[in-house]
Amino acid sequence: MRFARVVPVAVAAFAASVAGQATSPIEPQDFNVTAALENIGVDVEALPDPPAETSAVQRRTLTPCSLACTSLAILFGNDQLLSEGTTAYDSFTATYWSAQQGNLNPSCVFKPSKTLDVSTLVLVARLYQCPFAVKGGGHAAWAGASSIEDGITVSMENFKQINVASNKQTVDIGPGLRWIDVYLGVEKYGLSVVGGRMAPVGVPGLVLGGGLSHFSNRRGWACDNVASYELVTASGVPITVSATSYADLYWALRGGGNNFGIVTNFKLASFAQGQMWGGQRVYLETEFTKVLDAIYQFTVTGSNTDLDAAQIVTFAVAPGIGNLAFANLHYAKPIANAPVFNNWANLTAIDDTTGLRYMSGMADLLNQGAQGPGAYETWWGISLKMDRQLLQFIVDTYYAVYATTANVEQILFIMAIQPVTEGAMKAMQKNGGNAVGLNPAKGPYFILNFNAAWTVAADEAKFHHAINTIIKTVKAEAKRRGLDNDFVYLNYASEYQDPIGSYGAANKARLSSISKKYDPTQVFQYLQPAGFKLVKGAPNPNPP
Ligand SMILES: Cc1cc2nc3c(=O)[nH]c(=O)nc-3n(C[C@H](O)[C@H](O)[C@H](O)COP(=O)(O)OP(=O)(O)OC[C@H]3O[C@@H](n4cnc5c(N)ncnc54)[C@H](O)[C@@H]3O)c2cc1C
Ligand SMILES: *[C@@H]1O[C@H](CO)[C@@H](O)[C@H](O)[C@H]1NC(C)=O
Ligand SMILES: *[C@@H]1O[C@H](CO)[C@@H](O)[C@H](O)[C@H]1NC(C)=O
């Protein structure tokens, strides 16, 4: 076997060709993958011959990945290419948050360490027509969201940059980071960013699908606070995507998930942030009427009076204690019990962790007691218009259906209510708006999401059936009352849901035309089947 490493000279040539636009991100009809690989310094002669031309239909069923994996091993060696049957491979698949994702067996795992490696990967996958999946923090729950059976799993774990700009307005963040790393990194500079609320969750999936944050009421979602992306396109060309450079792609990346390319850097808007106030209060069922009043008031009026405030309320059952509500209240300034939370002031909590902490401390706190990787997991989400009576109906429906699963061994089965405030929707409109299609004139909305976790693989259908039953019942009632809403949050969607379709026909059509412009052979639709695709509705249209 000959070794054909990507030589430094070729790297320089690559950079020059990109700078000179010799390689356009919009590929010509006669785009030649072999020539493109040679252009970036890959000695294609040293790689196995690709199989004879496969038809578009064949390439969706064939998985000719041993050639692609062999090629990556030749080019990158064993540090960056993990083969099935090795301990490194096994410990990699164990890093997925859900067992369903970790149970898939890719032909190999590739760990690019720089943008050029990502370009090489895309072109090698195209050369051999081997499907791939891209993994960031691995927190998407369903099998095939960021993992793949028989293809190449591309792990972004080596992209760990945290570079604060000298003017402190932006920070370059690598897609291999978890949110805890990001907060700890930027807090040294007195800064924070709009990002995830639990320590171990990954950066890229959360940002590309939206990104609900404690700071969203003032600043919008994480995707609304990206100054620019470095994106490797279908032709392997890295481009900088911003409001002024490839503006159509910039809009599409704000909610469009993994449909447009592989992101190697997020330049996030940063802001001065010291300690904040927040934490969790736990309430018994005797307080539920007041809890629902408080959720309602915060969403329709309170959140408008003070953009620094955030609220999430989760319902659960604690064996031996009963039904519980967990209110997570956060405030961006170091002020305890700001007036915006007055509706929460007179409730009796059985536990209260509110206090002053940095965002990193909040992210650790919220993660305390959370289950680590490896359980069977499911997440589902819908959105509805806020209404006090509907809240009661939802809580009653959840507990009634929950009771039907009481005898199934489980780690948890919870439901959360999160407002999509008018402030957040207003902030989503900056820099041309995002792709998710929420109309600020029609809100406020709330996202209702479910997470179940269990240990016995065969119980999956029971939890899927229970959650689907709650959602069908709640949506029918909401429809009857004129409170239903289409939007499905991509980062909470199950494989039975269609978040991209929920953005509305016009937005979906616009996303599709942008996809065809930059990815004419639809690499990120067919060759990268992982995730929620433009060309497909729900990954699995038949919920149990
Ligand atoms: C415990 C927990 C807490 C959560 N908290 C929040 C929260 O506070 N706010 C919120 O909004 N959501 C939250 N979520 C949902 C979260 O946003 C999703 O799980 C998200 O997918 C996590 O991103 P990841 O990088 O870890 O996921 P992954 O599973 O690695 O990836 C998710 C998707 O992104 C794609 N992708 C990954 N990297 C790249 C890349 N570099 N380029 C292109 N595509 C890529 C993958 O292919 C996949 O389709 C939470 C989830 C969990 C399990
Ligand atoms: C593609 O490029 C390679 C290498 O430059 C060349 O050998 C091959 O003939 C080209 N294929 C086509 C169809 O032009
Ligand atoms: C909370 O209780 C105090 C004292 O009983 C009362 O004055 C106040 O109006 C109550 N606040 C709310 C929001 O109910």
Ligand 1 pocket member 528 (CB < 6 A): no
Predicted local distance difference test score (pLDDT) of residue 370: 83
Ligand 2 pocket member 38 (CB < 6 A): yes
Atom from ligand 3 closest to the CA of residue 343: 13
Distance CA 21, CA 130 (A): 28
Span from the CA of 346 to the centroid of ligand 3 (angstroms) = 6
Distance CA 242, CA 250 (A): 5
Q: What are phi and psi of 211, to 5 degrees?
A: 105, 80
For residue 280, which of 327, 313, 315, 316 has the smallest C-alpha distance?
327
293 alpha carbon, closest ligand = 3
Sorted by where each starts, the structural domains of the chain and their CATH numbers stand as: 11-155 (3.30.43.10), 162-273+503-526 (3.30.465.10), 276-496 (3.40.462.20)
pLDDT in tens, the chain (544 residues): 334 444 444 444 444 444 433 457 889 999 999 999 999 999 999 999 887 765 555 554 445 899 999 999 999 999 999 999 999 999 999 999 999 999 999 999 999 999 999 999 999 999 999 999 999 999 999 999 999 999 999 999 999 999 999 999 999 999 999 999 999 999 999 999 999 999 999 999 999 999 999 999 999 999 999 999 999 999 999 999 999 999 999 999 999 999 999 999 999 999 999 999 999 999 999 999 999 999 999 999 999 999 999 999 999 999 899 999 999 999 999 999 999 999 999 999 999 999 999 999 999 999 998 887 899 999 999 999 999 999 999 999 999 999 999 899 999 999 999 999 999 999 999 999 999 999 999 999 999 999 999 999 999 999 999 999 999 999 999 999 999 999 999 999 999 999 999 999 999 999 999 999 999 999 999 999 999 999 999 999 999 9
177 alpha carbon, closest ligand = 1
Ligand 2 pocket member 301 (CB < 6 A): no
Signed CA dihedral, 252, 257, 262, 268: sign only = positive
Which of the listed residues 301, 346, 347 should we mutate to test ligand 3's pocket, taking the one with most ligand atoms within 8 A of CB? 346
Ligand 3 pocket member 305 (CB < 6 A): no
Predicted local distance difference test score (pLDDT) of residue 64: 80
Per-residue pLDDT reduced to its tens digit, 451-467: 999 999 999 999 999 99
For residue 334, which of 306, 353, 352, 308 has the smallest C-alpha distance?
308
Tokens of 371: 């289950």
Query: Three-class SS of residue 270?
Result: strand
Cα dist from 360 to 173, 223, 274, 371, whole Å: 16, 20, 11, 19
Predicted local distance difference test score (pLDDT) of residue 211: 98
Q: How many other CB atoms are there within 10 angstroms of residue 335's CB atom?
A: 13
Predicted local distance difference test score (pLDDT) of residue 51: 74
**DSSP label at residue 277:** E
Predicted local distance difference test score (pLDDT) of residue 371: 80
Per-residue pLDDT reduced to its tens digit, 494-532: 999 999 999 999 999 999 999 999 999 999 999 999 999
Predicted local distance difference test score (pLDDT) of residue 143: 98
Ligand 3 pocket member 337 (CB < 6 A): no
Span from the CA of 262 to the centroid of ligand 3 (angstroms) = 52
Predicted local distance difference test score (pLDDT) of residue 56: 53
29 alpha carbon, closest ligand = 2
Distance CA 440, CA 309 (A): 18
Residue 489 CA to chain centroid, in angstroms?
10
